[in-house]
């Protein structure tokens, strides 16, 4: 049996939920014993999102092999519970770059280079490449953007061609649309979906399945209407109501019969579903026995997608402790104002994530100091670890001008400096220290206790690092290096002795966290935050108990 391909497109509006739907489809197929890989086709001309502002694109997700990718790959990995490679992320920029490079080398033997067949052939080759590398039975391909976008047309044309080349029995087209609700008439409208399908059909693609996103229940009459006007069997018109949590989407689609329909349509073997663990996890997520407050101090907090994997990692860890996590989004610049410590007063734990640029840096340092002096559990990710070192140098060692050379090239105490391998690097795209690297953990430390192992492999995305020229004096008074590269070149984890839980890591553990396998550092951090909350509550109760002695 050859590889099967499922193509997922979107219509009516952007941000309709294609990424989550695609991830959920992957999870459902995997639950039936089918091997799956997912690929994202992004029509933008950037080679990758690595140089894009979070305001434009949300977080940049990094794969184990060092590819800077769309945040949807994070959803894919979390739902599939498996790692993906850079082949799972394809952009128009990569496609055109490859085609032009081939033309410059003379690979096309003087032929005129055109969108069809040269661009479309390159797209098809990328899709088939991920199938070859993974050996998966099914490749699920999500096309970014909305049907009708000019930049997406070459990708849709490539899909049209693949459906003919691979055969209709080996390909499936799923179209995700939105049913808007009109309050004035009190009804959901199907006309935008009809227009979207008509646009898709005009490009030569007849959808086999239509998934109808909606904020309100979709009645049988609407399913019949969509089936009639869009030429899709009624059982293939699948309602997808907005759910309280994205992790319910696979369960909703399974209940609607989508998995059985896909297996039947693609002639895949039927097997008993295995969603028990997922169902149990979702049940725990929806029925917490307590709560914990985590203050996340960042510069993009008005756009939570900039910290998407961090948010999900906190959720995974909280469910492991059977509590709900309440994330308090604290803007780093707000922390620079007088009295800003009040923003952190009710924090059970404080987290400073990664980032670039000097905006809000002093506010983040102030948050680190608050956590250190007040005994609040702290987790610093990448930049969050670097600022932990800067804060320690300034306020414990008394080096008021200590800084990272990223923000102050002339600092007399460059406790954070440019990686040696980054010297002379001028291009921005894909030139950082990227992907998975090993880390040796020091026994008897919080990091070692969290992992329960002496070695770990974690994903990186940075240019600056702990300056080991200052190691002896920094570690002489309480700062501890508890994780480093096996050859001892780079510092990977720092902790603070004598603090309930104070840890920073140079890597991005959030990229490896999965619902059924929360990351060890996040799990330990949430555990410490729960203990801190319980201590504070016990102290508050003790203060509220009236004295038994007469006055």
Give pTM, 2 decimals. 0.94
Residue tagged active-site, from 382, 417, 494, 505: 382
Portion of the chain with pLDDT greater than 70, in percent: 99
Q: Which two tokens stand for residue 536?
A: 């504070």
Which distant-in-sequence residues (6+ apart) come within 8 Å of 218 by Cβ? Answer: 179, 188, 212, 239, 241
Specify the pLDDT at position 481: 97
Give the pLDDT score at 545.
73
Which residue among the candidates 118, 484, 510, 519 is catalytic per the annotation?
Answer: 510
Reported as a single tens digit per residue, the pLDDT across 432-483 is 889 999 999 999 999 999 999 999 999 999 999 999 999 999 999 899 999 9
* Token pair 């081939």 in the structure block, residue: 102
382 is catalytic: yes
User: What does residue 273 show for φ and ψ, rounded to 5 degrees?
Assistant: -70, 150
Helix, strand, or coil (residue 412): coil
Q: Which two tokens stand for residue 346?
A: 């009710």
Kindly name the residue from 57, 118, 448, 508 that is annotated as catalytic.
508
- What's the pLDDT score for residue 211? 96
Asked if residue 110 has pLDDT above 90, the reply is no
Q: Residue 417: phi, psi to the nearest 5?
A: -140, 170
**pLDDT band at 551, cuts 50/70/90?**
very low
Mean pLDDT of 284-290: 96
Give yes or no: 510 in active site.
yes
Determine the Cα–Cα distance for residues 368 and 384; give it in Å rounded to an integer.
8
DSSP string, 415-443: EEEE-GGGTT----TT-SEEEEEEEEEPT
Region 150-158: what's the mean pLDDT?
Answer: 94
Q: Residue 547's pLDDT is what?
A: 58
Calculate Rg over the CA atoms of the chain: 26
427 annotated active-site: no
Token readout for 502 is 């104070």
Looking at every residue in the chain, the average pLDDT score rounds to 94
Q: Residue 220's pLDDT is what? A: 93
Residues 302-361 have pLDDT tens digits of 888 999 999 999 999 999 999 999 999 999 999 999 999 999 999 999 999 999 889 999
Q: What is the pLDDT of residue 53?
A: 84
* Res 548 pLDDT > 70: no
pLDDT tens profile 170-209: 999 999 999 999 988 888 999 999 999 999 999 999 999 9
């Amino acid at each position: 049996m050859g590889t099967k391909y499922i193509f997922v497109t979107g219509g009516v509006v952007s941000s309709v939920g294609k990424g989550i739907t695609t991830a959920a489809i992957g999870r459902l197929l995997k639950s039936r014993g089918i091997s799956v890989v997912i690929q994202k086709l992004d029509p933008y001309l950037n080679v990758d999102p690595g140089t894009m502002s979070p305001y434009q694109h949300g977080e940049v997700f990094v794969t184990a092999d060092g590819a800077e990718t769309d945040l949807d790959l994070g959803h894919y990995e979390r739902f599939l519970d498996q790692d993906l490679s850079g082949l799972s992320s394809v952009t128009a920029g990569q496609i055109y770059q490859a085609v032009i490079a081939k033309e410059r080398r003379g690979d096309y033997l003087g032929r005129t280079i055109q969108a069809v067949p040269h661009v479309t052939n390159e797209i098809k080759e990328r899709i088939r490449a991920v199938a070859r590398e993974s050996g998966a039975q099914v490749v699920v391909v999500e096309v970014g953007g909305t049907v009708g976008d000019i930049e997406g047309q070459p990708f849709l044309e490539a899909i049209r061609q693949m459906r003919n080349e691979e055969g209709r029995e080996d390909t499936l087209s799923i179209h995700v649309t939105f049913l808007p609700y009109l309050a004035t008439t009190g009804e959901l409208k199907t006309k935008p979906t009809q227009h979207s399908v008509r646009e898709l059909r005009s490009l030569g693609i007849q959808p086999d399945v239509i998934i109808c996103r909606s904020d309100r229940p979709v009645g049988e009459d609407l399913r019949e209407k969509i089936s009639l006007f869009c030429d899709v069997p009624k059982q293939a018109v699948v309602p997808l109501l907005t759910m309280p949590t994205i992790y319910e989407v696979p369960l909703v689609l399974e209940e609607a019969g989508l998995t059985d329909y896909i297996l039947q349509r693609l002639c895949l073997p039927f097997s008993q579903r295995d969603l028990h663990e997922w169902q149990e996890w979702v049940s725990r997520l929806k029925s917490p026995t307590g709560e914990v407050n985590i203050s996340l101090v960042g510069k993009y907090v008005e756009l939570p997608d900039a910290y998407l994997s961090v948010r999900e990692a906190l959720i995974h860890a909280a469910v492991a402790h059977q509590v709900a996590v309440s994330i308090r989004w604290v803007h780093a610049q707000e922390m620079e104002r007088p009295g800003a410590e009040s923003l952190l007063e009710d924090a059970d734990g404080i987290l400073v994530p990664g980032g670039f640029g000097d905006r809000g840096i002093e506010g983040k340092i102030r948050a680190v100091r608050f956590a250190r002096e007040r005994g609040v559990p702290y987790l610093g990710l990448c930049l969050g670890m670097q600022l932990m070192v800067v804060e320690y140098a300034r306020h414990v060692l008394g080096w008021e001008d200590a800084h990272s050379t990223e923000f102050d090239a002339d600092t007399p105490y460059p406790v954070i400096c440019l990686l040696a391998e980054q010297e002379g690097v001028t291009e921005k795209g894909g030139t950082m220290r990227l992907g998975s690297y090993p880390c040796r953990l020091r026994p008897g430390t919080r990091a070692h206790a969290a992992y329960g192992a002496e070695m770990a492999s974690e994903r990186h995305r940075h240019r600056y690092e702990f300056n080991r020229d200052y190691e002896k004096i920094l570690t002489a008074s309480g700062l501890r290096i508890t994780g480093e590269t096996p050859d001892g070149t780079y510092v990977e984890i720092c902790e603070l002795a004598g603090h309930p839980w104070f840890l920073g890591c140079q890597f991005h553990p959030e990229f490896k966290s999965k619902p059924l396998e929360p990351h060890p550092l996040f799990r330990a951090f949430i555990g410490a935050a729960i203990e801190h909350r319980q201590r504070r509550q016990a102290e508050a109760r003790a203060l509220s108990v009236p004295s038994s002695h007469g006055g």
